[in-house]
């Protein structure tokens, strides 16, 4: 399901970056030189922000259970065991 979110986000990002670039050019009154570099910068920034937000919303981070005193992390979390969220 996550791939659908990222695909839809890519389409929206492309349209948003194009719209934003056109608005910048309207305010400026002329086409930007090296327009593709500006487009790349806009879409890269929007993509990094949006994809990080999607990942935080779709897959919340779980933290390993705290180790007992004198125990190492490897001893506290055994291989193959699911990581239990900490209780706070």
The domain locations on the chain are: 2-61
Distance of CA 85 to the CA centre of its chain: 22
Q: Is the pTM of this model over 0.85?
A: no
Check: CB of residue 43 under 8 Å from CB of residue 14: yes
DSSP assignment, residue 77?
Answer: S
Residue 48 CA to residue 52 CA, distance in Å, equals: 6
Output the pLDDT for position 26.
Answer: 95
Mean pLDDT of 48-59: 83
Q: Residue 69: which pLDDT band, with cuts at 50, 70 and 90?
A: confident
Output the pLDDT for position 63.
Answer: 63
Mean pLDDT of 34-47: 94
Residue 17 buriedness (CB in 10 A; 0-12 / 13-18 / 19+): buried
């Amino acid at each position: 399901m996550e791939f659908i979110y990222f695909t839809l986000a890519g389409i929206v990002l492309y349209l948003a970056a194009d719209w934003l670039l056109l608005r910048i050019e309207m305010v400026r009154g002329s086409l930007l030189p090296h327009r593709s570099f500006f487009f790349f910068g806009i879409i890269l920034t929007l993509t990094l922000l949006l994809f990080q937000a999607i990942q935080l919303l779709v897959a919340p981070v779980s933290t390993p259970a705290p180790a007992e005193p004198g125990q190492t992390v490897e001893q506290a979390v055994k291989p193959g065991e699911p990581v239990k969220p900490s209780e706070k």
